[in-house]
Amino acid sequence: LGQVGDTSLGSVVAFFDKVEGAMAPPCKKAKIEQPTQMRLRHIMLKHRECKNTVDKVRNKQIRRSRGEAERILRSILEECEGDPRNKIFTQRCKELSECPTSLSAGDLAGDLGWVKFGKGKFGLAFDAAAIMLQVGELSDLVDSDQGIHVIMRSA
pLDDT tens, position by position, for the chain (155 residues)?
445 566 666 666 667 667 665 665 665 555 556 667 899 999 999 999 999 999 999 999 999 999 999 999 999 999 999 888 899 999 999 999 999 999 998 889 999 999 987 767 888 899 999 999 999 999 999 999 999 999 999 99
Which H, E and C letters describe 104-155, residue by residue? CCHHHCCEEEEEECCCCCCCHHHHHHHHCCCCCCECCCEEECCEEEEEEECC
Other beta carbons less than 10 A from residue 34's beta carbon: 9
pLDDT of residue 78: 96
Q: In a 3-state reduction of DSSP, which class is residue 28? A: coil
Residue type at 97?
Answer: S
Residue type at 95?
Answer: E
